[in-house]
Each structure stands twice: as C-alpha cells, then as structure tokens.
Amino acid sequence: MVKRFLVIGFISLTATIYAQDSIVQQNDSIPVQVKNVVLETENRPTFKHSLGDLTLKLNEEGDRFMKFGLNTQIWLRNTENNPGTLVNNLPQENTYDAGLRTLRVTLQAQLSPAYQIYLQVGVNNQSFISGGAAGNGAGKKPAIFFMDAYNELAIIPQKDFKTHQENKFNLYLGAGLHGFNGISRLSNASTSKMLLGDLPIFNYPNIEVSDQFARQIGVFVRGEYNKFNYRFAVNKPFAVNNQPNIGETVDNNQPGKLSYSGYVMYNFLNKETGSTAFLPGFYLGTKKVMNFGLGFYSSNDATLSQPVEGIYKRNNESVLSADFFTDLPIGRPSQEMALTFYTAFYRYNFGKNYLRNISIMNPGDTDYNYTGNKALEGPGNARNLLGTGNLWYTQLGFVLPKFSETIKLQPFASYTMKDLEGLNEIGSYFDIGANLFVFSQSAKISYQYSSRPLYDQVDKKIFDRKGEHILVFQLSF
C-alpha cells in the first residue's frame, strides 16, 4: 500500500506540473527585483537551468555583495526495517514516514573584492521520531546549528583587482568551521545538486564523530592553477573519547592530534570554478566537464583498539581516494540530452577491523525480546557504512530527450562495493530512481529505491537484504 502511495504521488505531481507547462512558458526569464534585491535568472528560450541567486549588491561594480541561499529537502519514505526493530516501542517490519532531511539557509558576504564571510545554518534529519530537542518529544523542535562559519581572504584573486584580468594561478586563504574537505569530489559535494536522492555518506569518513556534519575547524587554502583545482586544510578534529571492547577499534582522538586533508582535480574540458566548498553532482549538459581527482585525509592517533583485555593500542587514520567525473551533452542539441558519470575508489585505514554503522533518520530501536536472527548493523534502516578496507562507488545519470520547455527527466543508478576487513563477505549496495526537474536544476522531485545487505552478528556474512523507497521534494536557490 505504501509503495503504491509513493508511486501514485510521484505520477500525480508529474501530471500536475506538466499541465502548467504552457502557462509557465509565457512568464519565462522574468527577473524579479525588490529594491536592491535581485533574483537573477538566466534568459534562456527553453529550460531554465537555475533559479538564480538572491543577491544584494553593495556597489555599482558588483564586486561587493551579499548573496542569500535556501535549500530544503523533504522525504516521504517506506523503510523495510532490519530484523528485531521496535518503532515507538512496538515491533514493526515496515515503516512509512515523512521527514525534513535538510533545511539550509546560507549567507555569502563579499564585503570587499578581497574578503568574504560564509555562513550556513539549518537543521537535518527531523522525522516523527528523530531530531527532537529535549522535552519536546522524540521528533519535535530540532536544534538549529551552524554548518559553515568561516572567513576567507583573496591572496591572489581569480581576477586582478585593478586590471580585471584572469590570473592563471589564484590562491585563497580561509579559517573557521568549513567544508573544504580532502579525499574526493563527493567529499566536497553540493547537497543542492546531488545526482541521487542522497549522498552515500561514506564519502564523509568522520561524519558526526570527529567532525560536525562533515566540517572541522581549521585553516584551508584553495584555488586554481591553469586546469588544476586544489584545496588543502589543516584542522583540529572534534574530541571523541569512545572506549573499545575487546577485539574492537573505535574513534578516540584523546591525544588531540591535527588532521590534514587535500584534494586536487584536473579539468580536461571546461573549468569548474566556485567561491564555496561545494561541487555539483550534475550540470544537465550545460557544460562539458571531465575531471580526474586525487585526495587524502590523515590524522595520527585517531582511533583506539583493545586487542586483548586491558591492553590498548592507538592507531593512525588515513584515507586515500581517486575519482573521475564527467557531465556531457550528447545527441542533437535540440534534444538537450546529457550524460553524467562519476566513479570513486577509497582506501580506508582506521586500525584493525574498524567498522562503523550508520542510519539516516532511523525510525527504530532494538527489540531485545526478538529471538530471530538480528543484523550486525542494528535496528531500523542501519547499514554498515565504512571501515578499514576498500570501497568502490559508481553513479550514472542520463537526461532523456526533451519533451517539455519546463521539465526534464533524468533516470539514475548507483552501485557500491564494500570490501571491509571487519566483515567476512563483500557487500553490494544498489540505488535506482529518477529525477524530475521542474523549471530548473534547483527544483526537483526524485524517486529512489535503495537495496542494502544485512550481515549476521556471528559469522559476519550476508544473510538477508532490505530495501527503502524514498520520494524527495527539493528546492534550492
């Protein structure tokens, strides 16, 4: 019934929006202006590729401004729970819910051509049972927090301040709570332009452990040299003092060592540039992009293990990655088709048999009275996220031939292979679905089905699979 509800809802929304097609065409590309605030839009005769930015210009030249952004992502979901799950203290094999996956408000203040302040505030992962503040119920009134808060200085700007000529080499220096991560393109991903309904999360190896929602506090440099794009950072990880059981390795950075990260990519075709940390997951064929990247992350004494009772050992954390991304228009220009492809290889080393589970808006708790075969991952929609070992991730999207002036359809699929030291069988994870873009890249409705393996607690081999249906409503500018 729930699956039918999700499909019917998706089809109904599609039909409703398509019925408005001819009306919307009449009002295409009309800039909105309120006093000094301008909603910038692209003047295109067909599909608009961006809703633009809400920008307050502070001078006539436009090199001093304040830019505001908003990103909301709403989920309707049907989850097949792992065995032995309680939902609101009752056993439940299948759960349907609605949730606020992300809500972000951003401010980018270019106070002078050389100086920038960037702030991002919001909430994540609020459902009927998760994300609530104390005293307000399990899901009510989640706490708002800063995801980004940093200052940035142009040491060598992209354009010379006086001549306005492009510099082949540019360098920016920043400090604060930031997301200029190393490792991979996906570790610097834009949540407003994801190819899939969500990121795979293992692209953030320290998520909500020694970082704050994929951010750490420190100093970073970023910039370009010809066709190379680079970013490096030295940060102070957030303190984590987990204690391991016998034979276990956990996050524990009590000695307080710094972390070092970097990512360098080479642009074979059009250059990708940006004034923030975030790289898009698609361009819908509006640019010819093909990049190859290498990245790393390291922090000494970041984990703690207990090989035998009473004996503890500290371990260094290291991550290496190589990835490839391309987004290209294909076929006749009038069809406006596009191909998006991304693949990445990660080598994680956190110490012997390190293994970490995670869940997104998990609806469940453990049923301790359940006598069946429980999953190593835990209750609800939990999965083995990452661990010491190798991970390979690939995603593919294809924009179908043009059938509307205001709508585009992009089927997608992804595959993840996890070969982790703490498990006795390689795991395969699958995602499949489609994006329905409405008016622009910034407004979309997505359907995604995800399939995950479940591991036995004893032999650590796969004994079952579970799935999850997600209908996503996203708007960003």
The domains of the chain are located at 2-476
How many whole angstroms separate alpha carbon 201 and alpha carbon 360?
Answer: 9
How much is the pLDDT for 361? Answer: 95
How many whole angstroms separate alpha carbon 418 and alpha carbon 72?
Answer: 30
Enumerate residues 6+ apart whose C-beta is below 8 A from 16.
none
Amino acid at 467: G
How much is the pLDDT for 47? Answer: 58
How much is the pLDDT for 113? Answer: 87
How much is the pLDDT for 133? Answer: 77
How much is the pLDDT for 52? Answer: 66
- Give the SS3 label for residue 64: coil
- Over residues 214-266, the pLDDT tens digits come to 999 999 999 999 999 999 999 999 999 999 999 999 999 999 999 999 999 99
β-bridge mates for residue 292, sequence order: 266, 324
Q: Which residue has the tokens 């972390």?
A: 259
Please work out, in degrees rounded to the nearest 5, the angle formed at the alpha carbon of residue 411 by the alpha carbons of 97 and 417. 75
β-bridge mates for residue 449, sequence order: 432, 469
- Give the SS3 label for residue 141: coil
pTM to 2 decimals? 0.89
Q: Which residue has the tokens 């949730």?
A: 99
The CATH-assigned architecture of domain 2-476 is Beta Barrel (2.40)
- Stated as kind and residue range, the H or E segment containing 2 is helix 2-19
Enumerate residues 6+ apart whose C-beta is below 8 A from 34.
none
The number of angstroms, rounded, from the C-alpha of 36 to the middle of its chain's C-alpha atoms is 33
The number of angstroms, rounded, from the C-alpha of 270 to the middle of its chain's C-alpha atoms is 23
Q: Smallest Cα–Cα separation from 284: which of 48, 108, 42, 115?
A: 48
User: Which segments in the chain show pLDDT lower than 50?
Assistant: 1-46
Tell me the CA distances in angstroms from 132 to 43, 140, 171, one per residue in order. Answer: 43, 4, 41
Q: Smallest Cα–Cα separation from 427: which of 395, 457, 467, 464?
A: 464
